[in-house]
Amino acid sequence: MNDLDQTPTEFRSGFVSIIGRPNVGKSTLLNAILGQKIAITSPKPQTTRNRILGIHHLPDGQILFLDTPGIHKSRGRLNKFMVDQALAACSGVDLVLLLVEAGRTPGEGEEFILELLRQGGVPVVLAINKVDLVHQLELLPLIETYAGKFPFREIVPVSARRGEGIDDLVGTLRRLLPPGPRHYPEDMVTDLPERFIVAEMIREQVLRLTREEIPYGAAVTIETFSEKPERGLVVIQAVIHVERETHKRIVVGKGGSVVRSIGQAARADIERLLGCRVFLELFIRVDRDWTESARLLREFGYD
Ligand SMILES: Nc1nc2c(ncn2[C@@H]2O[C@H](COP(=O)(O)OP(=O)(O)O)[C@@H](O)[C@H]2O)c(=O)[nH]1
Ligand SMILES: [Mg+2]
């Protein structure tokens, strides 16, 4: 037996930003790593609007993941806020985890991000997501193409949706982090307040159950969040803000059918999050063109 076998593995910790184009599966990946839903996901681009911290605990490390809005060329105030959040997450971290899709050859969007990373100088790991959608044989040429474009520290194929390759990826990231302390207690998964996650879970159902411009123009705020421990119940009143009167009509639906579905689906997620029964009441309000109003953006938490 040599000395090396006796040395306990060094505790490593640090920040890893998950970045990539909209819709590549960044939030799905974060939830898969944490084994818990803290970030909302949807098939629509620009689902994630804020930077989200997810804390992953290992016996020999702690990885602090930052989930970010997708990076794209943007117009409009809300969009600019989102892209700025993502860009800020590319510097001042220990590692960047760039996520791309297996079914796509790198195009303008990917080049734009690689150029930012070249300027950033932070080490980058590439994860190729959605490998469940492609044939094994397509993967190797794609890995080679990416390897030729940027000096990635590692390239790891994963399927966030199926949970494939996740342990490999996490092991790789831990290995590349510097030795460091545990920054957060072991029972902490995020620093986000429950209220924020609750509002996001409601917004996720708005995204799932409406179409076209409505998802982009919807925000959710929590007006009441009151715990009734004696009844094992939390009472929540939330407002869904939309940009136009016509949007309000769509979100309400015939006889209130759409908002009822939003409430039912969101309540199930929120009950799982809080671990108790939830009484959820939703209101819909028109805040004309709020995505362009500095005051309302601030009020809804996008500043
Ligand atoms: N087929 C497949 N779909 C995935 C995978 N990971 C994520 N998705 C889907 O891709 C869409 C966008 O995911 P999301 O996590 O919101 O992407 P983000 O915008 O990068 O955060 C959702 O419909 C996900 O279910 C995967 O590994 N395979
Ligand atoms: Mg996301």
Tokens of 201: 């879970």
pLDDT in tens, 147-173: 999 999 999 999 999 999 999 999 999
Ligand (nearest to CA of 46): 1
**Residue % of the chain over a pLDDT of 90:** 81
Spell out which residues line ligand 1, taking CB within 6 angstroms. 20, 22-28, 41-43, 47-48, 70, 129-130, 132-133, 159-161
Max Cα–Cα distance, the chain, nearest Å: 74
pTM for the whole structure = 0.92
Distance 45 CA to ligand 1 centre (A): 10
Q: Does 185 map to a domain?
A: no
Q: Does 248 map to a domain?
A: yes
The answer on 198 and 169 residing in a single domain is no
Average pLDDT over residues 8-17: 92
| pLDDT surpasses 90 at 229 | no
What are the residue ranges of helices labelled H in 89-135?
A: 108-120
One-letter amino acid identity for 148? G
**Residue % of the chain over a pLDDT of 70:** 97
pLDDT in tens, 172-208: 999 999 999 999 999 999 999 999 999 999 999 999 9
The answer on 144 and 109 residing in a single domain is yes
The answer on 171 and 200 residing in a single domain is no
d(CA 143, CA 122): 20
Q: Does 132 map to a domain?
A: yes
Return the minimum-mean-pLDDT range out of 83-97, 265-279, 288-302: 83-97
The answer on 46 and 80 residing in a single domain is yes
162 CA closest ligand 1 atom index: 27
The answer on 229 and 91 residing in a single domain is no
Q: How many structural domains comprise the chain?
A: 2
What pLDDT is attached to residue 4?
55
d(CA 189, CA 58): 12
CATH code of residue 253: 3.30.300.20
CA distances for 32 relative to 58, 101, 288, angstroms = 15, 16, 37
Helix then strand then coil, in percent of the chain rounded to 5, is 40, 25, 35
Average pLDDT of the residues of the chain: 93
3-state secondary structure of 226: strand
What are the residue ranges of helices labelled H in 35-96?
A: 77-88
Domain that holds residue 231: 194-299
What pLDDT is attached to residue 1?
46
CATH code of residue 15: 3.40.50.300
